[in-house]
Chain A
Amino acid sequence: MILDVILRVAAKMFIPFILMFGLYVQLHGDFGPGGGFQAGVIIAAAVILYAIVFGKDAATRVVPKWAVEQMVPLGVLIFAGVGVWSMINGGEYLNYNVLLHAGEPIGTYDAVHGQHWGVFLVEIGVLVTVTGTMLTIFYSFTGRGRPQ
């Protein structure tokens, strides 16, 4: 499989577009279908395609194991951190209305803008955890070799 020229060239052509589509699904989730869960899976799929065609060692050089393992809790921390930030700003947990201070008058909040930022950050948290978990599971399964 590693010597298959057509597969390698096709995969090399596809992977940038898959990654770009993943980012599109992530960042365009406010306007069309999609969001962190779907985008996370699509980006993980790009790395898995790379691992299948070019071998697992090549994939772990690009996306190392320790990185994906740290992405798993990092996304939850980003999500929960947004909630803590809204509590620090005086609102309820995960109340995005209070994320951003409006300039004038002092002490008020820019609710709509805060909602934008809240959803954006939370979706990034989802993306990070989903991508990390999918790749962690994939690496764990493929890293064991065939038992004899």
Chain B
Amino acid sequence: MVLLTLLAAITVGIIRTRNLFAVVVLSGAYSFLMASVMIILDAVDVAMTEASVGAGISTVLVLGALYLTKIHEDPPRFSAAIPLIVCVATGAMLIYGTWDLPPFGTADQPVNIHVGAHYIAESARETDIPNIVTAVLASYRGFDTLGEVTVVFTAGIGVLLLLKRWGDA
């Protein structure tokens, strides 16, 4: 609860401030709080990714991008009414969608009765890897992970195409 309150406070801070440097630092703090939330939910692997990618690398990369542009955000040229309506409508639809989800942590929901039970029961015997997350990520769902790596690859290629100076290698 404390964490969620802090998250809300940081979100308001990010929206209110016009200093982009402060926004970058605040979003780093936001990522660290998200990582703490993930630890409370016992998702240590996700927490680690959030802390290293969200708080670490993306802060540095956005600072690098900030170095190329101005520190201060211009005052908005258009009214915020239409974006606000779109955001509120989308948020309301998402919250409406969560009403149909089974209560958090119940044993008989589809997540827990389909392949999850097999992973928990058999992954140690089939792969001999104690960390079930790694076994699922790299072995059972290897094709998905290949897709994720391809996404990272595509991002790298995209940045290279846009920003590389082909003259001086």
Please report A residues at the B interface, Cβ cutoff 8 Å: 25, 29-35, 37-38, 41-42, 44-45, 48, 52, 65-66, 69, 72-73, 75-76, 79-80, 83, 93-94, 96, 111-112, 115-116, 118-119, 122-123, 125-126, 129-130, 132-134, 136-138, 140-144, 146-147
Contacts and interface: CB of A to CB of B under 8 A. Distances in A.
Nearest to A123: B138
Given A41-B52, A96-B142, A147-B68, 12 more contacts: A29-B134, A30-B131, A35-B134, A38-B52, A41-B49, A72-B160, A76-B149, A94-B142, A112-B128, A115-B126, A126-B149, A130-B149
Contact of A83 (B65, B131, B146): B146
Chain B, interface size: which category? 35 or more
Task: Identify the 7 closest CB pairs spanning chains A and B, nearest first.
Answer: A133-B156, A141-B64, A140-B163, A33-B44, A115-B127, A94-B142, A72-B156
B15 interface: no
A143 to B, nearest CB: 7
Given A112-B128, A133-B155, A136-B160, A141 B65 contact: yes
B145 A126 contact: yes
Contacts of B65: 141
B18 interface: no
A137 B150 contact: no
Contact of B156 (A25, A111, A136): A136
Nearest to A134: B57
A122 B52 contact: no
B68 to A, nearest CB: 6
B117 to A, nearest CB: 20
Contact of B169 (A32, A66, A141, A142): A66
B157 interface: yes
B164 interface: yes
Nearest to A22: B52
B157 A93 contact: no
A82 to B, nearest CB: 8
Contacts of A73: 153
B57 A44 contact: yes
B53 A41 contact: yes
